[in-house]
C-alpha cells in the first residue's frame, strides 16, 4: 500500500513546499486580491511541475498518468485549503471578532471580554474604518469588474449582476438565504 501512495505523498510534499515558498516570495505581490494571487501562484506551481516532469520524466520513475493524478490532487487540495482557510480568514468578520476578544483592551473588572456594544464599536471603528474594509472591498470589486466607480458613485456592472444571479442559484441549491 505504501509503495502505491509514496509517489503521491512525495509529489504533494514537494509541490506544497514549492507553492508555499512562492507564496512567501514577492512574485505577484502587486496582486492585491489575495484569492487571485493564491490562484496565480498555484497555477505557476502546477505549470512548473508539468514542465519539470516533461524534462525529467525518465529520471523521476513514475508513470505519466500517476504523476498527473498526483499533481491534480495536490493542486485541488491546496486550492480547497487556500479558499477555506487563508482567504476566509483574511475576509472574515468572525476572525476579527475573535481576535478582538483576545486583545488587551477586551478586559475589565466587570467583563473579562467585550460587551456586545464594545464588539460592535470595534467592528465599526477598527475593522470597517481603521482597516478601510469598505474601501478594500470596493477596490477588489472594481479590479474583478463587478463594480464601476463613476464620479464617486459606485454602480454594479453587468458582470456584477450576472454574478449575483449565479449566487442566487447557488444559495437556492444549498438552501441559504440572501
* Exposure string over 55-76, b if 16+ CB within 10 A, otherwise e: eeeeeeebeeeebeebbeebbe
pLDDT tens sequence across 156-175: 999 999 999 999 999 999 89
Any idea what the Cα angle at residue 116 is, between residues 112 and 119, rounded to 5°? 80
pLDDT tens sequence across 25-51: 999 999 888 899 999 999 999 999 999
Q: According to the model, what pLDDT value does residue 1 have? A: 77
Q: Which pTM does this prediction carry?
A: 0.79
**Residue pair 87/34 in contact by the 8 Å Cβ criterion:** yes
In tens digits, what is the pLDDT along the chain, a chain of 178 residues?
777 799 899 999 999 999 999 999 999 999 888 899 999 999 999 999 999 998 887 787 788 999 999 999 999 999 999 999 998 888 888 888 888 888 766 566 777 788 888 889 989 999 899 988 898 899 989 999 999 999 989 999 999 999 999 999 999 998 988 6
Q: How far is CA 106 from the centre of its chain?
A: 29
In whole angstroms, give the CA distance from residue 27 to residue 32. 12
Q: Which three cell numbers stand for residue 38?
A: 493564491
**Residue pair 146/160 in contact by the 8 Å Cβ criterion:** yes
Whole-number Cα distances in Å, 161 to 48, 102, 130, 147, 166? 36, 39, 30, 10, 9
Amino acid at each position: 500500500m505504501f509503495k502505491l501512495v509514496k509517489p503521491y505523498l512525495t509529489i504533494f510534499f514537494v509541490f506544497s513546499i514549492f507553492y508555499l515558498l512562492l507564496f512567501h516570495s514577492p512574485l505577484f505581490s502587486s496582486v492585491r486580491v489575495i484569492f487571485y494571487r493564491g490562484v496565480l501562484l498555484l497555477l505557476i506551481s502546477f505549470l512548473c511541475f508539468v514542465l519539470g516532469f516533461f524534462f525529467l520524466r525518465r529520471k523521476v520513475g513514475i508513470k505519466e498518468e500517476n504523476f498527473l493524478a498526483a499533481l491534480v490532487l495536490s493542486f485541488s487540495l491546496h486550492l480547497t485549503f487556500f479558499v477555506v482557510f487563508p482567504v476566509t480568514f483574511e475576509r472574515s468578520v468572525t476572525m476579527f471578532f475573535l481576535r478582538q476578544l483576545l486583545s488587551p483592551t477586551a478586559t475589565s473588572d466587570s467583563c473579562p471580554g467585550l460587551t456586545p456594544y464594545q464588539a460592535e464599536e470595534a467592528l465599526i471603528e477598527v475593522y470597517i474604518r481603521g482597516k478601510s474594509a469598505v474601501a478594500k472591498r470596493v477596490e477588489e470589486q472594481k479590479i474583478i469588474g463587478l463594480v464601476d466607480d463613476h464620479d464617486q458613485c459606485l454602480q454594479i456592472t453587468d458582470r456584477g449582476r450576472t454574478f449575483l444571479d449565479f449566487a442566487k442559484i447557488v444559495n437556492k441549491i444549498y438552501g441559504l438565504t440572501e
